[in-house]
Homo-oligomer: A and B are copies of this chain.
Amino acid sequence: MQREINGRPVIETARGPVLTPCAPGSVLARLGDKWTILVVSMLALSPDTPMRFGAIRRGIPDISQRMLTLTLRSLERDGLVARHYYPEVPPRVEYELTARGRSMLDPLAAFTGWIRDTWQDIEASRKEFDDVERSGTSAN
C-alpha cells in the first residue's frame, strides 16, 4: 500500500522513502506567503458581513495597497474569497470568505494554535543557538 505524509505520497525505494513532488505544495506555498494568512484572518473576523478593501487594509498595518490587491486576487482565484464590486462614485469593493475559505479556518487554527503555544520556546531556542554560535566562533 501507499504511505502518505502531509498530503504527499511516499514511494518506498531500496535506498529509503522518497516524497513525491505534487500539487498541494503550490497551495501550501501560497497560503504560507507573507500576507495571505493575515488577510484571511481579517476576513475571518467578520464572518457575516463583507469587508471593504480599506477596512482590510487598515487592519494589517504594514501591507501595501499593491500587495493587498494581489493577495486578494490570488485568494479569489483559489475560490477562497469572493469579491463584490459596486460601481458607485467613489467605487466600493467588498470581500468575504467563501464556504471553501471558511472550511479552512478550523484546520488553520489548529496549526496557528500550535505556533501561538510554542513560539516563545522557539524564540528562546533561537537566542540560545545564536549565542552558542557567537561564542563558538570566539576568535572573531
Residues of B within 8 A of A51 (CB): 16
Whether B28 contacts A115 by the Cβ 8 Å rule is yes
Chain copies in the assembled complex: 2
Closest Cβ–Cβ distance, residue A31 to chain B (whole Å): 7
In the complex, which residue of chain B has the Cβ closest to the Cβ of A78? B122
Given known contacts A37-B6, A58-B18, A100-B121, is B112 in contact with A77 (CB within 8 Å)? no
**Which residues of A101-140 are within 8 A (CB) of B?**
103-104, 106-116, 118-126, 129-130
Residues of B within 8 A of A78 (CB): 122, 125-126
Whether B19 contacts A29 by the Cβ 8 Å rule is no
Closest Cβ–Cβ distance, residue A7 to chain B (whole Å): 3
Whether A6 contacts B62 by the Cβ 8 Å rule is no
**Which residues of A11-41 are within 8 A (CB) of B?**
15-19, 21, 23-25, 27-29, 31-34, 37-38, 40-41
Main secondary structure of the interface of A (DSSP, over half): helix
Whether B111 contacts A107 by the Cβ 8 Å rule is yes
Q: Count of chain A residues with Cβ under 8 Å from any Cβ of B?
A: 68
Whether A59 contacts B16 by the Cβ 8 Å rule is yes
The CA of A112 and the CA of B104, in the complex, are separated in Å by 10
**Which residues of A46-95 are within 8 A (CB) of B?**
46, 51, 55, 58-62, 76-80
In the complex, which residue of chain B has the Cβ closest to the Cβ of A62? B21
